[in-house]
């Protein structure tokens, strides 16, 4: 029985009844594919297992080759976890998508140089899905796959799924929306590098293009997400919920970053202030820091784009962005000023940058603000040693033309250190380990605020 019959006649379908294709196997798509594979159950009615019906598709040939050899460059899955896969297929071959009941799209949604949404990947994926279901319009012989459903997980502005993706699917499939195919939207909320909150542990917001579609989407996710699902009232509501989650976080961090600048002028420690303030029951616990990556620093621009289209320029959202983006200048200026105050000849000094990725315990360096810091420091002609145990040095070199080492040269002493990312490897350093790499007048800037206070590091 195919999804159409199953959903309409009975809500009790099983993952093993469906062919599910995931388009885009990055930080979002791969964990989802693994989780679907894990829950790929046996249909108790038929006793049948269809372990080859989850298809992981990506246009990046290198990524697919790596996954086929059980290597995940995002560090989310170890070699042995691949060995436990039941039947997930990794492929670049779009022909394999054709018989799918369910398509889940998890491709990137970055911003362009003008900070407007860059929907290229999403549009390409929608075209591909349209082409993959096109055969249904010509050849309606397959009773099992009458009404495919396309679920988008990529973060977008409210309205994008139905205004941008659906028309492309209709155009390339020759099928009619909500008559011949359904859509859904279920934003991803994973936190790469976080061992405590995996995909199954985070409540999933679901939505569909009609009641039936919403039920299908919700059923699929409730089968694989232990924490449960929340069915939003429409696709647009689910899209808006995702962007506001990250926009709220961006603004809260911006407020604390602004506080950090003020505390510095006051000559008091931001951390001390926050410790005191959070003894009030309704004070929200945020820390100052760099907001990089492709979610929190990007999603507010998606919301802004749509809002401007509707004639309203958001002020709070954009001022939060401005403050958070400006933190790199602030950090560099304070660092240089303190080196000079300590009579350090900055031109000849060895400066160590610890961490390049946009967040701790994650190899992802896209939109990392540490890169902005490095570029600014390079303008001062400092002798920089850049260390990150997780990022791929080759990829960084290709993109930004600077060298990154995976380990610190422990025989070297540094006059300045910026601890930019709280990777576990750096957190494991003892007071003596830090002292060992610092020369007598070393200035150390602890952006993440985790170093022993005895080191008297600069902090936000």
Ligand X SMILES: NC(=O)c1ccc[n+]([C@@H]2O[C@H](COP(=O)([O-])OP(=O)(O)OC[C@H]3O[C@@H](n4cnc5c(N)ncnc54)[C@H](O)[C@@H]3O)[C@@H](O)[C@H]2O)c1
Residues of this chain that interact with ligand X (CB under 6 A) are 23-29, 57-60, 63, 106-109, 121, 124-125, 128, 153-155, 188-190, 192, 294-295
Tell the smallest beta-carbon distance from residue 120 to ligand X (Å). 8
- Cα(324)–Cα(337) distance, rounded to whole angstroms? 21
Residue whose pair of structure tokens reads 């401005």 in the numeric block: 322
Nearer to ligand X, 298 or 373 (CB): 298
Question: Do the bridges between strand 102-105 and strand 149-152 make them parallel or antiparallel, or are there none, so unpaired?
Answer: parallel
Identity of the residue, 75 or 264, whose beta carbon is nearer to ligand X in the bound complex: 75
In the bound state with ligand X, the residue whose beta carbon lies nearer, of 58 and 218, is 58
Rounded to a whole number of angstroms, the minimum distance from the CB of residue 343 to ligand X is: 43
Q: What is the rounded distance in angstroms from the CA atom of residue 328 to the CA atom of residue 376?
A: 9
The residue among 155 and 161 lying less far from ligand X, judged by its C-beta, is 155
Residue nearest to ligand X (CB): 26
For the question of residue 92 being annotated catalytic, the response is no
For ligand X, the closer CB: 17 or 58 = 58
The distance of closest approach from Cβ of residue 392 to ligand X in the complex, given in angstroms and rounded to an integer, is 13
Minimum distance of ligand X from residue 169's CB (angstroms): 13
Catalytic residue (one of 165, 183, 295, 362): 295
The Cα–Cα gap between 418 and 209 comes to 49
Q: How would you classify the pairing of strands 89-91 and 54-57? A: parallel
Q: At what angle do helices 120-133 and 166-173 cross, to 10 degrees?
A: 30
Nearest distance from C-beta of residue 247 to ligand X, angstroms: 13
Q: Which is nearer to ligand X, 94 or 271 (CB)?
A: 94
Shortest distance in whole angstroms from residue 367 CB to ligand X = 11
Known catalytic residues are 295
């Amino acid at each position: 029985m195919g999804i159409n019959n199953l959903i309409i006649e009975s809500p009790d379908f099983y993952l093993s009844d469906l062919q599910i294709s995931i388009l885009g196997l990055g930080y979002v798509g791969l964990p989802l594919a693994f989780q679907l594979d894990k829950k790929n159950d046996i249909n108790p009615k038929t006793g049948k297992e269809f372990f080859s019906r989850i298809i992981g598709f990506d246009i990046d040939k290198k990524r697919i080759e790596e996954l086929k050899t059980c290597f995940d460059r995002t560090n989310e899955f170890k070699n042995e976890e691949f060995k436990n896969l039941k039947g997930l297929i990794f492929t670049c071959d779009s022909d394999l998508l054709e018989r799918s009941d369910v398509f889940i799209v998890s491709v990137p949604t970055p911003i362009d140089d003008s900070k407007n949404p860059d929907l290229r990947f999403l549009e390409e994926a929608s075209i591909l899905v349209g082409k993959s279901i096109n055969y249904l319009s010509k050849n309606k012989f397959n009773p099992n796959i009458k009404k495919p459903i396309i679920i988008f997980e990529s973060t977008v502005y409210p309205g994008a799924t139905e205004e941008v993706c659906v028309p492309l699917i209709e155009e390339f499939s020759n099928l009619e929306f909500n008559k011949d195919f359904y859509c859904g939207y279920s934003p991803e909320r994973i936190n790469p590098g976080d061992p405590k909150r995996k995909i199954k542990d985070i409540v999933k917001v679901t939505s569909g293009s009609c009641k039936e579609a919403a039920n299908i989407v919700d059923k699929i996710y409730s089968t694989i997400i232990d924490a449960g699902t929340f069915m939003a009232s429409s696709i647009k509501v689910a899209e808006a919920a995702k962007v506001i989650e990250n926009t709220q976080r961006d603004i809260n961090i911006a407020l604390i970053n602004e506080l950090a600048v003020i505390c510095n002028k006051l000559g008091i420690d931001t951390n001390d202030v926050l410790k005191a303030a959070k003894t009030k029951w309704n004070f929200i616990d945020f820390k100052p820091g760099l907001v990089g990556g492709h979610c929190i620093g990007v999603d507010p621009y998606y919301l802004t784009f749509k809002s401007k289209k509707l004639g309203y320029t958001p002020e709070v959202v954009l001022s939060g962005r401005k403050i958070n983006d400006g933190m790199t200048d602030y950090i560099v200026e304070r660092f240089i000023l303190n080196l000079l105050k300590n009579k350090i000849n900055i031109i000849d000094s060895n400066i160590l940058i610890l961490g390049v990725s946009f967040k701790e315990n994650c190899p992802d360096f896209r939109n990392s603000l540490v890169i902005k810091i490095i570029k600014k420091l390079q303008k001062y002609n400092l002798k920089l040693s850049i260390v990150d145990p997780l990022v791929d040095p080759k990829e960084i070199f290709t993109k930004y033309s600077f060298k990154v080492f995976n380990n610190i040269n422990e025989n070297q002493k540094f006059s300045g250190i910026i601890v930019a990312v709280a990777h576990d490897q750096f957190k494991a350093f003892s007071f003596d380990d830090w002292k060992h790499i610092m020369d007598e007048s070393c200035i150390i800037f602890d952006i993440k605020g985790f170093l022993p206070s005895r080191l008297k590091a600069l902090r936000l």
